[in-house]
Every structure is written in structure tokens, then in C-alpha cells.
């Protein structure tokens, strides 16, 4: 069993930055790939970013590439998402998730087996 808790969301003006954190407990996440997803009202949950178990490989959705950076600190059992140059289109609930297998991460939500409760990010014009 793994519990994931996101934090760091809030209200920010367009062009601003936020750093999200995802703290894991119950089981170490060091052997698993991790991902960030987001969901806006009326829309399906979409992939944002993922990172391999060792942190050497990262993957990003085209919509956030160059603006967002995913990282991890396995010693702290925590995953981060640095978000820069935020736009209103980034407004959503952001979720962190643990990949179900010890393999390179995928971009499909069905491949993740544990999810956090989400943290709201709102970007004003």
C-alpha cells in the first residue's frame, strides 16, 4: 500500500510559477516510475510528466514541454513538478501517481496503480 499526498497548489497569475510536491508513505517509491496528471472540469485526466525510477529519464506532454520540470528525491520519497510560465490553460487539479511496474514510464493513466488526492492549480489572466 502506498499513500500519496500532493501539496503546493494555489492561485497564481499568468506567467507565474508554482512547485508541486508529492510525498509518499507506506512504501518506498524508489523502485518505481512516477507521473503527474491533471484534470480540468468536464475533461478527461491527461498526462503531464513522468520520471523513471532512477530519475535519469523524463517525459513530458507537448503542452508543457519547456515550461514544466519533473524531478524526484528518493531519499525523501518525494516527487516534484516545477511549473513555470503558467497560463490559464494549465488550470486543473493535479495528481501524482505511482507506475504499476518497474519499467520505463508510460503516458497512460491505466498503467498507474496509486493516486494522490490532487491539488488545485488556478491560473488567472
Per residue in 79-98, pLDDT (tens digit) is 999 999 999 999 999 999 99
Computed over every residue of the chain, the mean pLDDT equals 94
pLDDT at 110: 94
The answer to whether the CB of 83 falls within 8 A of the CB of 92 is: no
**Comparing C-alpha atoms, which of 93, 92, 79, 65 is closest to residue 34?**
79
Amino acid at each position: 500500500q502506498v499513500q500519496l499526498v500532493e501539496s503546493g497548489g494555489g492561485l497564481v497569475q499568468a506567467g507565474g510559477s508554482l512547485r508541486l510536491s508529492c510525498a509518499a508513505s507506506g512504501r518506498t517509491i524508489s523502485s518505481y516510475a512516477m507521473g503527474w496528471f491533471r484534470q480540468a472540469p468536464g475533461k478527461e485526466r491527461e498526462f503531464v510528466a513522468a520520471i523513471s525510477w532512477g530519475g535519469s529519464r523524463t517525459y513530458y506532454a507537448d503542452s508543457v514541454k519547456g515550461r514544466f520540470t519533473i524531478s524526484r528525491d528518493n531519499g525523501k520519497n518525494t516527487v516534484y513538478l516545477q511549473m513555470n510560465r503558467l497560463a490559464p490553460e494549465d488550470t486543473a487539479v493535479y495528481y501524482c501517481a505511482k507506475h504499476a511496474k518497474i519499467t520505463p514510464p508510460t503516458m497512460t493513466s491505466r498503467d498507474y496503480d496509486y493516486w494522490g488526492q490532487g491539488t488545485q492549480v488556478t491560473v488567472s489572466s
